[in-house]
């Protein structure tokens, strides 16, 4: 009896490295699933609801406005205060902070142009509508239409940048000028595309059948990826090249903001969307075909919307300071532990069996984290923008 545990230990010691070294086999079906997470980068987006989307002059004006603190009520806060280029377009905090502490985490803006719902609850249906919210929100920048409009009219460079972007001089319609400023902000943000990663090199090699190139991707990463598209079923929601299907889910994250107060998630998001004069059904949508408004027109309120949050994309995820809408997890290890141990009682929806405790082994957990980290890469440093109107 005394040698029992020792033998077990020895066996484990022998078995572990062998398992850790074994090459990973990829079936046709798995290769197809992995292929769905690329190619990367995607073609540039053109948003038909924004007439200056994907135009150089619109993008240039947007970058200036993004960094301009004069958009805020006290002249001290710009978009870049919270969405910092050097911090993957977020703020390095678990939850946002302005005048007041915010209840949700500041999302990174990488690849934001490819979304169709914006914010953690999809309260915005276009990137430009979403860019209006922080300007007017008294808890965030506390600005106003009049203030933004005056800035566009009176600042010589901005007025010139506006003229170049829109083909007319800023006029006296304050609300429209605010929307136009947001459309320029959107044009700029849509250019923020995350760099290619080690995962992308592997994905392309696997799809092309290039075994030599594929072998450069670590075995833990490969095993983690296999789990992600297989047993873990992570790709049911984290689907496609951005690792999100762009919709909403409930994975059992606490929704109490503070005792007695809940974040209703998507439920509140739909209410805000419907109430917004800036949604795609309103008069500021530049798309005469109406195609861009299809989701807004048909979106459906469901009981399960309560406590649902947007499925985040996972590119550059490991570079985040915290995870989930409320910044409730500090590390990727915590996130994976959550998926491994989540109690079904914590799921607020009516028993959708998409999230269940996976009961991962220590090695599986490390593998999954290794895979998630392979979705990160250092972005090239950004050059300072050229002058708006030299």
For another protein, which residue of 169, 211, 216, 294 counts as binding (CB under 8 A)? 294
Site for another protein in 335-364 (CB under 8 A): 350-354
In contact, 269 and 307? CB cutoff 8 Å: no
For ligand HEC, which residue of 59, 61, 129, 141 counts as binding (CB under 6 A)? 141
- What whole-number distance in Å separates Cα of residue 52 and Cα of residue 59? 8
Site for ligand HEC in 35-54 (CB under 6 A): none
247 binds, among ligand HEC, another protein, none (CB under 5 to 8 A by kind): another protein
> Does 315 contact ligand HEC by CB under 6 A?
no
**Binding piece for another protein, criterion CB under 8 A, among 63-71, 188-196, 236-244, 365-373:** 236-244
For ligand HEC, which residue of 24, 102, 201, 271 counts as binding (CB under 6 A)? 102
Torsion of CA 13, 219, 331, 242, to 10 degrees: -160
Residue 285 CA from chain centroid, whole number: 23
Q: Provide the minimum distance between the beta carbon of 310 and another protein in the complex, in angstroms, as a whole number.
A: 12
350 binds, among ligand HEC, another protein, none (CB under 5 to 8 A by kind): another protein
260: alpha, beta or left? (left if phi > 0; alpha if psi -120 to 50): left
For another protein, which residue of 245, 264, 340, 363 counts as binding (CB under 8 A)? 245
Give the single-character DSSP code of 117. Answer: S
- What whole-number distance in Å separates Cα of residue 14 and Cα of residue 53? 58
- Could you give the angle at which helices 198-208 and 219-229 cross, rounded to 10 degrees? 70
For ligand HEC, which residue of 104, 226, 242, 348 counts as binding (CB under 6 A)? 104
For another protein, which residue of 8, 11, 27, 32 counts as binding (CB under 8 A)? 32
b/e per residue 241-255 (b: at least 16 CB within 10 A): bbbbbbebbbbbbeb
Give the single-character DSSP code of 90. Answer: B
Phi, psi of 7 (to 5 degrees): -60, -45
**Binding piece for ligand HEC, criterion CB under 6 A, among 19-27, 36-44, 129-137, 161-169:** 129-137
Give the single-character DSSP code of 278. Answer: T
What the block records as the tokens of 389 is: 């109107």
- What whole-number distance in Å separates Cα of residue 51 and Cα of residue 285? 9
In contact, 145 and 173? CB cutoff 8 Å: no
Q: Provide the minimum distance between the beta carbon of 77 and ligand HEC in the complex, in angstroms, as a whole number.
A: 5
For ligand HEC, which residue of 68, 140, 174, 367 counts as binding (CB under 6 A)? 140
Could you give the angle at the alpha carbon of 388 between the alpha carbons of 382 and 389, nearest 5°?
A: 150
Interacting residue ranges for another protein, rule: CB under 8 A:
32, 235-237, 239-240, 245-248, 294-295, 297-300, 302, 304, 350-354
**Residues binding ligand HEC (CB under 6 A):** 71, 77, 79, 81-83, 96, 98, 102, 104, 106-107, 109, 112, 115, 118-121, 127, 130-131, 134-135, 140-141, 185, 189, 228, 232-234, 236-238, 249, 251, 253, 309, 311-312, 314, 317, 320, 323-325, 332, 335, 339, 354-355, 358, 368, 372
């Amino acid at each position: 009896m005394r040698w029992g545990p020792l033998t077990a230990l020895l066996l484990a010691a022998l078995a572990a490295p062998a398992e850790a070294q074994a090459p990973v086999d990829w079936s046709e079906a798995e290769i197809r699933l992995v292929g769905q997470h690329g190619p990367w980068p995607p073609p540039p987006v053109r948003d038909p609801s924004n007439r200056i989307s994907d135009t150089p002059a619109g993008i240039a004006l947007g970058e200036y406005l993004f960094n301009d603190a004069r958009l805020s009520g006290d002249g001290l806060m710009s978009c870049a205060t919270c969405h910092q280029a050097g911090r993957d377009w977020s703020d390095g905090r678990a939850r946002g902070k302005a005048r007041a502490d915010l209840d949700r985490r500041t999302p990174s803006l990488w690849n934001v142009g490819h979304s169709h719902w914006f914010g953690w609850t999809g309260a915005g249906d276009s990137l430009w509508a979403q860019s209006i919210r922080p300007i007017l929100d008294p808890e965030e920048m506390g600005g106003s239409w009049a203030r933004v409009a005056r800035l566009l009219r009176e600042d010589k460079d901005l007025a010139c940048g506006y003229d170049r972007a829109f083909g007319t001089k800023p006029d006296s319609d304050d609300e429209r000028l605010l929307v136009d400023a947001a459309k320029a902000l959107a044009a700029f943000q849509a250019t923020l595309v995350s760099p290619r990663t080690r995962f992308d090199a592997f994905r392309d090699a696997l799809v092309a059948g290039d075994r030599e190139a594929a072998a450069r991707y670590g075995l833990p990463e490969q095993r983690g990826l296999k789990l992600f598209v297989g047993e873990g079923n992570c790709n049911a929601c984290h689907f496609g090249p951005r690792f999100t299907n762009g919709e909403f889910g409930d994975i059992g994250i606490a929704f109490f903001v503070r005792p007695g107060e809940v974040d209703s998630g998507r439920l509140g998001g739909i209410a805000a969307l419907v109430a917004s004069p800036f949604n795609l059904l309103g008069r500021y949508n530049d798309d005469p075909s109406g195609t861009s408004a299809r989701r807004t027109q048909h979106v459906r309120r469901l009981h399960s919307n309560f406590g649902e949050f947007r499925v985040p994309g996972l590119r550059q995820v490991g570079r985040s300071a915290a995870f989930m809408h409320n910044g409730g997890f500090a590390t990727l290890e915590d996130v994976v532990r959550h998926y491994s141990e989540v109690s079904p009682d914590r799921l607020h929806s009516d028993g959708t069996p998409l999230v269940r405790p996976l009961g991962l082994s220590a090695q599986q957990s490390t593998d999954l984290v290794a895979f998630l980290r392979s979705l990160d890469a250092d972005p090239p440093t950004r050059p300072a923008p050229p002058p708006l109107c030299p």
